[in-house]
Chain A
Amino acid sequence: MSLETASPSAQHRRHGSNAGQPLTRRDGVLKVTGRATYAADNHPEGMLYAVTAVSRIARGRVTSLNVAAAKAHPGVVEVLTPANRPPLAHDPDVKMPPFGFRVEVLQDDTVRYVNQPIALVIAETLEAATEGAALLNPQYDIDIARTGLESGERFGLAAVGVGAPPRTAHGDIEAGLAAATRVTEADYVTPQQFHNAMEPHAVVAEWDGDRVTLDMPNQALALSCASYAAYFGIPAENVLIRSPFLGGGFGSKAILNGPQILAILAARMLKRPVKLALTRTQMYGPVGHRGHTWQKLRIGTDNEGRLTALHHQALCATSSFDEFIEPAANASLPLYASPAILAEHEGLRLDIGTPGPMRAPGEASGSAALEVAMDEAAIACGMDPLEFRLANYAETEPGTGRPFSSKALRECYAEGAKRFGWSGRPLEPRRMRDENGFLVGWGMGTAVFHCPHFPAEARATLRADGTALVETAGADMGQGAWTALAQIAAEALGLDPDQVELHSGISSLPDGGIAGGSGHTASAGLALHNAGEDAIARLAEIATADPASPLFGAGNIGVAARSGRLHRHDDEGRSESYAEILARAGRAEVVGTAKAARDPAIAEAHAMFSHGAVFAEVKVDPDLGQVRVSRLVGAFAAGRIINPRLVRSQYFGGMIWGMSFALQEEAIADRRTGRIMNADLAEYHVPVNADVPSLDAILIPEDDPYVNPLGVKGVGEVGITGTVGAIANAVWHATGVRVRRFPIRIEDLLVDRT
């Protein structure tokens, strides 16, 4: 590559059709020059800084705060505590559907988890606010914290994840187990993990009368506007959220949290703009996390290695005052054929912040356990793990028998195995060494993620100069939405992506739905697609009704939009540019709008999932137990691919998250106090560059006529699933040690060498 091809002007050169091209990111130049503005980069005139003081106990009551000391610190303007916190229009202990959680906004002196906000200090400088918060020196009445399996309270559940049933049964599980020639049974534990987006949660709030502007990273603009409006007793249209860039979200920026609400409240109280950014440590509590799970799997198999029963139980931690239950056991529902499947969940109440959705909620933890259990079952049957999965391939959705909207998993297995070189893998562990004497292991896992679709709206405006403006209030947290959505819109509009301006990331635009569940490209994309088609239809109406147009009278025959021109279907030679049509009609623009949602009948009739197969190679020091992943190959089928460059990056990111889950991430809470002892980025390990192996992501073609009219599935989360198990299975294959607690640690592998 030369510098010329990397220059911004060449980045969006058109290569044939719009969608499907590996265009570089539209926001690339802004991001590499530091001109992309994230929430905390805003600095309105007269702005104050807010810093939360947080609880260092998990359960009890704040008995005193040294407000005088904080206020005496030069620069401190105000200290918000339960004693002087202005009223809110919504009770923070009442959940606000659909994604509302109970939040802590100084409603009283109760402490229900570590790092809960217990005061907010507002000052002229960040330094003063920070020290003011430190000077509060809280005193507590401490109750014994419930921090683990032994002390937590188990309870039955009404729902898991976002409204899914806590128990799903297909067939008779006990009969299935009784019919098995072998039953593989094991327990698996996954830890508390934290999203740790690189950008800490931040808000800059500025009020103008009863209108407020919020600069904040936000994955769910319209929903959030409604929620903030409820808290502040103002109409939703009085809340403007600007979220042009998010420094990562992974689920943690889709949900309201106490500190941000308090900062907005402080701005109203003090009649000045207020900025708040959480510290890294403060992100371990009030902004969600992936909940701790304890899972049990029972897999019954017959003599041919076919499943007779798949029983997945999950005990999932949540807070003492709210529920988000990692739907881990549901990972066993859509994947392997079995006459009997039972997925069931139980809750465990602990004195922790409420968990929340974190990249592949449920699927990641559940797949980690399921894929290891499948490996164990394969070994019990004396079968190659891939062969075993193929023997249990689900041609239709297990249990329901519904057809899959599309499922190229078989091709994923085949291509992934081929690229990886899976064949010839010894069944037994500890059979492979590299030239340096390290143990080498190969493992695999199946990846699966469902395909949600959120209602979304969009607007497409064809302008007099033949270019277009398309608008939807979406969120690009790194998945590449701005680029992929522009490609989709451009295709619908018959334009080059360079001719399409995309406005997004601000709540005043048509509701782009939620950037979550790997459903944003499909949801907002379909709205943009339909809006584009609407604009073209309106333009065609003008042209075909205009006697001066070469397209006059083509109404019934139809026209096609291509390269900025409308063409007659029956006579390609007869065409006219958008600009010409608009000019003659004396129109400055034509506006198309659309609302898009999934057809419930089609959704009901089909099972819709992205799939993949992940193959991992690890190297393990035979004496010292340190693990290094040396290769990861993933083959994924996720419908139509809008931008392969960005999709590959999403898969890489997911696979690295899987590696992180398998080998690194774990928040360690003190068993007595519940305080997380590694609430930072030094000792809460996430992968660094040197951890990253050779990565290969294969895009398996898949045509899906049902999932949505675009044929697009999600790619953001599927990559984690499968990978965790693949790596854990590779570690077993290298060492012969089966670790059922994540992350796998050095001491787990310090086996006796004798």
Chain B
Amino acid sequence: MSLSIGLTINGQPRTVTLDDPRVTLLDLLRERLDLTGTKKGCDRGQCGACTVLVDGRRVNSCLALAASLDGAEVSTIEGLAEGETLHPVQAAFIEHDGFQCGYCTPGQIMSAVGLIAEGHAGADPERIQELMSGNICRCGAYQGITEAVLEAQKILAERNRRAAA
């Protein structure tokens, strides 16, 4: 059984032929489209390492069947920076040492981008901690992660204000 689906990945429309409906979005990205920035930590929705944005919302790509996402827009870590200019969330993660081994980092960053877009945390660190709790960091870089999200959110808000002005 072969199935053709359309996906827009990091702004690029792509037609993907699936020979197997079992393929998850995560495995599609990693094993078939050479987008290995998105990581597999548990493959069961329990760690958040595979977080990507689907139609602008952060989700666990390990639990999404690719076939079911026909027509969706997918954003991954590879599409976040503009050329060599890092996205403010990426830059803030470096500055605040929001990672150690780096394996959960793409998921953390995509989750943070999603969180900021959702706009439910405000500047309350506790809300950010709660809303970033779907991303496990075994190294324990959480304090830096929280600081990075707070700072990036501020920068993005300022940028949006300027753009609106």
List chain A positions with a Cβ less than 8 A from chain B.
1, 3, 5-8, 11, 24-25, 27-38, 40-41, 43, 49, 125-128, 131, 196-200, 245-250, 277, 279-280, 477-480, 645-646, 648-650, 652-657, 680-682, 686-690, 692, 695
Contacts and interface: CB of A to CB of B under 8 A. Distances in A.
A280 B136 contact: no
B140 A652 contact: yes
Given A32-B105, A247-B101, A681-B46, A198 B39 contact: yes
A271 to B, nearest CB: 21
Instruction: With a 10 A CB-CB cut-off, give which of B78, B93, B109, B139 has the most chain A CB atoms.
Output: B139
Given A477-B101, A687-B142, A689-B145, A34 B77 contact: yes
Contacts of A478: 99-102, 139
Given A33-B90, A653-B141, A25 B36 contact: no
A163 B77 CA distance: 45
Contacts of B43: 279-280
Given A3-B155, A33-B86, A247-B102, A690 B136 contact: no
Interface string B89-101: 0111111010111
Contacts of A652: 140-144
A585 B36 CA distance: 46
A645 B43 CA distance: 32
Contacts of A249: 101
Contact of A280 (B46, B84, B146): B46
B5 interface: no
A67 B63 CA distance: 29
A689 B142 contact: yes
Contacts of B104: 198, 247
B44 A680 contact: yes
Given A7-B86, A689-B146, A248 B103 contact: yes
B120 to A, nearest CB: 14
B146 to A, nearest CB: 7
B138 A38 contact: no
B133 A1 contact: no
Contact of B129 (A33, A199, A681, A689): A689
Interface in B66-117: 76-78, 80-81, 84-86, 88, 90-95, 97, 99-106, 109
A11 B96 CA distance: 12
Interface string B1-40: 0000000000000000000101100010011001111111
Interface in B115-163: 126, 128-130, 132-146, 151, 155
Nearest to B151: A1
B155 A689 contact: no
B84 to A, nearest CB: 8
A692 B145 CA distance: 11
Listed from nearest, the 7 A-B pairs whose CB atoms lie closest are A34-B37, A247-B103, A478-B100, A478-B101, A656-B140, A31-B102, A34-B77
Contacts, number: 202
B101 A246 contact: yes
A31 B93 CA distance: 10
B136 A681 contact: yes
Which of B22, B35, B77, B100: most chain A Cβ within 10 A?
B100
Chain B contact residues, majority secondary structure? loop
Nearest to A195: B138
Given A29-B86, A198-B103, A690-B130, A681 B140 contact: no
A482 to B, nearest CB: 11
12 contacts: A6-B95, A8-B94, A34-B35, A34-B76, A127-B27, A196-B138, A198-B103, A249-B101, A478-B100, A645-B97, A680-B44, A689-B145
B151 A680 contact: no
Contacts of A649: 97, 100, 139, 141, 144
B47 interface: yes
B102 A197 contact: no
Given A24-B94, A33-B81, A688 B101 contact: no
Interface of B: 20, 22-23, 27, 30-31, 34-44, 46-47, 49, 76-78, 80-81, 84-86, 88, 90-95, 97, 99-106, 109, 126, 128-130, 132-146, 151, 155
A258 B110 CA distance: 34
A197 B138 CA distance: 6
A648 B98 CA distance: 12
B41 A245 contact: no
B109 A32 contact: yes
Contacts of A246: 101
A33 B133 contact: no
Contacts of B78: 33-35
Contacts of B143: 652, 692, 695
A377 B30 CA distance: 55
A400 B129 CA distance: 47
A35 B144 CA distance: 21
A480 B80 CA distance: 24
A35 B103 contact: no
B140 A127 contact: no
A250 to B, nearest CB: 8
A128 B142 CA distance: 37
Contact of A25 (B38, B97, B135): B97
B129 A247 contact: no
Given A28-B94, A127-B23, A245 B102 contact: yes
A8 to B, nearest CB: 7
Contacts of A30: 102
A653 B100 contact: yes
A188 to B, nearest CB: 24
Contacts of B135: 688-689
A30 B93 CA distance: 12
Contacts of A49: 31
Nearest to A196: B138
A125 B151 CA distance: 42
A49 B37 CA distance: 19
A686 B133 CA distance: 11
Contacts of B105: 31-32
B26 to A, nearest CB: 10
A38 B37 CA distance: 9
A31 B133 contact: no
Given A247-B41, A680-B46, 20 more contacts: A8-B94, A31-B99, A32-B90, A32-B109, A40-B30, A43-B31, A197-B138, A198-B137, A199-B39, A199-B41, A199-B101, A200-B41, A248-B139, A250-B138, A280-B41, A280-B43, A479-B100, A480-B100, A649-B144, A689-B146
Contacts of A25: 94, 97, 99
A131 B138 CA distance: 29
Contacts of A24: 94-95, 97
User: Which among A11, A24, A32, A478 has the greatest number of chain B C-beta atoms within 10 A?
Assistant: A32
A517 to B, nearest CB: 17
A32 B113 CA distance: 12
A34 B133 contact: no
B94 A681 contact: no
B95 A197 contact: no
Contact of A11 (B94, B100, B132): B94
A275 B42 CA distance: 17
B81 A127 contact: no
Contacts of B38: 34
A27 B99 CA distance: 11
